[in-house]
A and B are shown apart, each in its own frame.
Chain A
Amino acid sequence: MIKSQKEKIQRVLAGLFSIGAFLALWQWAVVSTTLGQLMPGPITVITSFIQAFSVPIGTCTIQQHVGWSLSRVMIAYLVAAVVGIGLGVLMGWNPKIEAIFKPLYDIIRPIPPIAWIPLSIVWFGLGEMTKYFLIFLSAFSNITLNAYEGAKSVDPVLMGASRMLGANRTQTLLTVVLPASMPFIFAGLQVAISTSWATVVAAEMVRSTEGVGWVIVSAQDTNDMNQTLVGILAIGIVGFILATIMRGVETRLCKWNKSE
């Protein structure tokens, strides 16, 4: 419909306008006030950002840094997804499993990944494993909770229907409980991708030699505000892209949930 396309364009323009206004304000502040002594303006930052695609910061270009961070996220996130969905759905579906695992989960969940850093260093050292562990924790927590809620809220009529049609318990779990929980699971996956991305940055800031978190931390050593901002820009852009991709996947997968 023409009207909704028009509305869409208007929304995008409105967003671009506010970003543009912000950048303009920043540039003006840097040029006309004392802010310019503390930090560079957007033009400088964006220029450096583009340069970083060919000129390495440290040992890697900016896209390589992003690649490092993303790969850490992907590995830990996928493991968290499999474990989280599995555990969450099982807990929501089977009261015995719930009784055993939920209390432990409820205790672990509120602890932020950052609080685990010292323990994780003791257990896994300062290498990649620590980072994976921290990212895993941050993603796992949300995914499990949502999968649990999803499985718990499956309409008992649907479960009754599947048994009536001849499915055994395992089949009911796989062909009814799992698909019915998908909208919830997906919500959890979406939140988890954002928190995972945030956690990798924190994990890299502790100890690493590459990645966007490292870009920021190493800039502190040399007091290079420009580099810090380049890092921040990279983090923002990738985070935004990840969220957009997730939303697109959801629209495709959960079509059946939206009424026309």
Chain B
Amino acid sequence: MIECKGLKKTFQSENGAFEVVKNIDLKVKENEFLVLFGPGQCGKTTILNMIAGLETPSEGIVTVNGKEVHEPGPERGVVYQTISLFPWLTVMGNVEYGPKVRGIPKEKRRATAQHYIDMVGLQGFEKSFPVQLSGGMKQRAGIARAYANNPIVMLMDEPFGALDAQTRYLMQKELERIWEQEKRTVVFVTNNIEEAVYLADRIVVLANRPTQVKAEYKINLPRPRNYVDPEFLRLRMEITDAVDKTL
């Protein structure tokens, strides 16, 4: 479904060029939940942005469903960690934004939006503004908004990073439930090992900047997973050891 071949990304700054992504080859199967895991600032967001079409690779190509990626589009839904909801629109306004700008008639897009608002558990909050929502609720709205465009791929960049530990656990469980309900191919970026092992079908461990693939782990644990299961903990420790230290 997603293929990255020889991806490289170099940025220009006042201090000269710096290479963020050295070489990435990646294949993601349809409906696979792939986690990109690595230390902070290692370049995983840049990789995700290249798949999303928000950045262009300096070298290499990204294809999604056989088509080369040049720019962002509704078939590749993105959920960010930071505020990405439009603050001047209500939850409904945000979730139906995609279908609206693509010209879908009101009846149909309202129904679609409502379906996803219900799916993420925000029924009753259709008329609320983002400023009135908690962090977890904002992220749910972001997920609904991306889903409402019927994407074939969901790209999530540390969506739960700004939440406190308990809300984070809750959201991981919610996301799992939502994904099981309407499966999509997911690429999920995180630096939290528990989150990675809880959600992933497969974890790709990235090296420090300039990044490349360091290791891969298939997670075969049955879902929904248990954070204190001995195998879960063992995997956690093993993968944590495999990651580059940043200090």
User: A interface vs B, CB < 8 Å?
Assistant: 155, 157-158, 160-168, 171, 175-176, 179-180, 182, 255-260
- Interface positions, chain B 53-69, Cβ under 8 Å from A, are 53-54
**30 A–B contacts, CB within 8 A, in A order:** A157-B83, A157-B84, A158-B84, A158-B86, A160-B54, A160-B72, A160-B78, A161-B78, A161-B84, A162-B97, A162-B101, A163-B72, A163-B73, A164-B74, A164-B76, A164-B77, A164-B78, A165-B101, A165-B145, A166-B73, A166-B98, A166-B101, A166-B102, A167-B97, A175-B97, A179-B88, A179-B89, A180-B86, A256-B87, A256-B130
In the docked arrangement, what's the CA distance between A171 and B86, Å? 14
Distance to closest chain B CB from A182 (angstroms): 7
In the docked arrangement, what's the CA distance between A256 and B88, Å? 6
Docked-complex contact B132 and A165, CB < 8 angstroms: no
In the docked arrangement, what's the CA distance between A17 and B120, Å? 55
Interface of B is mostly: loop
Q: In this complex, which of A155, A166, A167, A180 has the most chain B Cβ atoms within 10 angstroms of its Cβ?
A: A166
Distance to closest chain B CB from A110 (angstroms): 30
Residues of B within 8 A of A163 (CB): 54, 71-73
Interface of A is mostly: helix
Contact of B129 with A by CB under 8 A: yes
Interface residue from B72, B74, B82, B131 paired with A259 (Cβ < 8 Å): B131
Contact-size category for B: 20 to 34
Residues of A within 8 A of B74 (CB): 164-166
Interface residue from A166, A168, A180, A259 paired with B88 (Cβ < 8 Å): A180
Interface residue from A165, A168, A180, A257 paired with B98 (Cβ < 8 Å): A165
User: B interface vs A, CB < 8 Å?
Assistant: 52-54, 71-74, 76-78, 80, 82-84, 86-89, 97-98, 101-102, 129-132, 145-146, 149
Counted as pairs of residues, one from A and one from B, with CB atoms less than 8 Å apart, the total is 71
Docked-complex contact B86 and A164, CB < 8 angstroms: no
Q: Which residue of A lies closest to B81 (CB)?
A: A157
Docked-complex contact B80 and A161, CB < 8 angstroms: yes
In the docked arrangement, what's the CA distance between A162 and B78, Å? 10
In the docked arrangement, what's the CA distance between A193 and B89, Å? 28
Q: Which 6 pairs show the lowest CB-CB distances between chains A and B?
A: A165-B98, A166-B74, A164-B72, A167-B101, A163-B72, A179-B88
Residues of A within 8 A of B89 (CB): 179
Q: Which residue of A lies closest to B49 (CB)?
A: A160
In the docked arrangement, what's the CA distance between A162 and B131, Å? 19
Residues of B within 8 A of A258 (CB): 131
Distance to closest chain B CB from A62 (angstroms): 41
Residues of B within 8 A of A260 (CB): 131-132
Docked-complex contact B87 and A257, CB < 8 angstroms: yes
Docked-complex contact A157 and B82, CB < 8 angstroms: yes
Interface residue from B53, B72, B82, B131 paired with A256 (Cβ < 8 Å): B131
Residues of B within 8 A of A176 (CB): 86
Q: Which residue of B lies closest to A253 (CB)?
A: B88
Distance to closest chain B CB from A89 (angstroms): 15
